[in-house]
Structure 1
Amino acid sequence: MSENCSHNCGSCSSNCSSRKPADFLVPPNEHSKIKKVIAVVSGKGGVGKSMVTSTMAVLTNRRGKKTAILDADITGPSIPKAFGVTEKAYGTQMGILPCESKKGIEMMSVNLLLDNDTDPVVWRGPVIAETVKQFWKDVVWGDVDYMFIDMPPGTGDVPLTVFQSIAIDGIIIVTSPQELVGMIVDKAVKMAEMMNVPILGIVENMSYFKCPDCGGIHHIFGESQIEAIAAKHNIPVVCKLPIDPAIAAKCDRGAAEEYEGEWLDPMVDFLEKMR
């Protein structure tokens, strides 16, 4: 039986419901003061989770909040590219200093430590999970109002490490309007409930396409079921993002801070009301 568990539950694996999250929490760097930590998650890849993370950081930064991004998607990091950040992070006696975007958004990503952005990260799960913890406890974040954690898809090692090691104030689930969404959201919701992490809302990306010529709305991936899914889980905040090539193009050329749109404003409004 693990010394961290007071219950005789056999193997005492990490999913033992008797364990308290506080038993595993890791404090941030002593020179960091982070007020709110928001994790952006998805049940599957390719739904625009990093784009939502970047946009949320841009919008909160525009409202005068000190904002940071912890890129926990170690094997698929994309945050530095979205902001056009190419310089490398370096360490001091206090810890690792994060890099900053043109508008002052702090970030830490494995691509800021690799010699070449295209070098693959061929690491085992435990090494990847420990790297994410180092991004939290060894990086000198300073005073931060909102930190967004760009999570890898799924419910594997890294999400489990983040939920257990970092005091998360809430998660945002990113989905797309496909038939498998209900099952995928169910998995993300159940993991959050197991980890006692509040769910702030669902963002449906690629929800529709608005024709620039006729103004007609087309549901490329089928009719949205997001309202029913949100109601099923009693999740109050829902945002729908269109298929907009201009947004993707800006991220591809490192200009995420040029984002224009009001689709995510309700989620930012919600964050500002959090205590």
Structure 2
Amino acid sequence: MIRAELLKVTTTRATKAAIGVGIAGLIATQVTLVTVLPALASGAIGPGREALGDDLPAFELTSAAAQLAAVSPLGSSTGAGSIGIAVLAVLMLGVLAGTTDYRFGGIVPTALAEPRRGRILAAKVGAMAIVGAVVGVAYAVVSVATLLTSLALAQTDLAVSIPDLLGVLGRGALVVPLLGLLGLAIGILARNQLGGVLITLGVLLFELIAQATIQLVTGSLPVWAQLMPLSLGQAAVSPGVAGSIPPLIAVAALAALVAVVTAAAGAAMRSRDI
């Protein structure tokens, strides 16, 4: 059944478009933030910092921490809960994978071939995990390539250690399929593509608004307020900073969140009519 679900994900135009948009968006983000802007700041390209003046933000990729932040497979960002094109695309990929059967009626022959709803869900989860892992590796390759290009243009050495670099890339490659599975569970719960997309966007916007409000009221962002999908994903691929959730704990927390939502999707699939 996993092979059949893989075929659905990899041959549907919408899901292929989501994968393409995610990779293209990550390339655009990384090239802009990690390669072009630092090169402008260093004078490797363009008129130089003196000519650009204060219009150009300060960039430096000489420290190990800055290089680890730049190589994030989720895309470089300035906020713990920021929404990047790569993250949004993989969530939409999951939603589309979870709703395609309902939209085109494929769930009926699937249920006739395999009446046990649990096995259907397991096949969908397995297929999404495989596709998400492949996308995660592609994201990691793009991030490494843009970082190395930027360092070459700036004539800067790689300051980060190989184990730390592999740790960030590995956790990022793990977070991507987890986000895809979260989107899959939301899609199965919604059953409708538009509904699934709107629910996902609503959850993401709620996280951003809630965290901004909490930070405005309290003056800081407590750890409990970081237990949301975007923040957990960014914390998982970060090198670990004071006041944020440790990377491995963030991965475990995100996996637990995905497991809870997936269990709810499984319960809904078993209890309602096709």
TM-score range, shorter chain: under 0.3
Q: What is the TM-score of this pair, normalised by structure 1?
A: 0.21
Q: What is the TM-score of this pair, normalised by structure 2?
A: 0.21
Going by fraction, where is helix more abundant, 1 or 2? Answer: 2
Larger Rg: 2
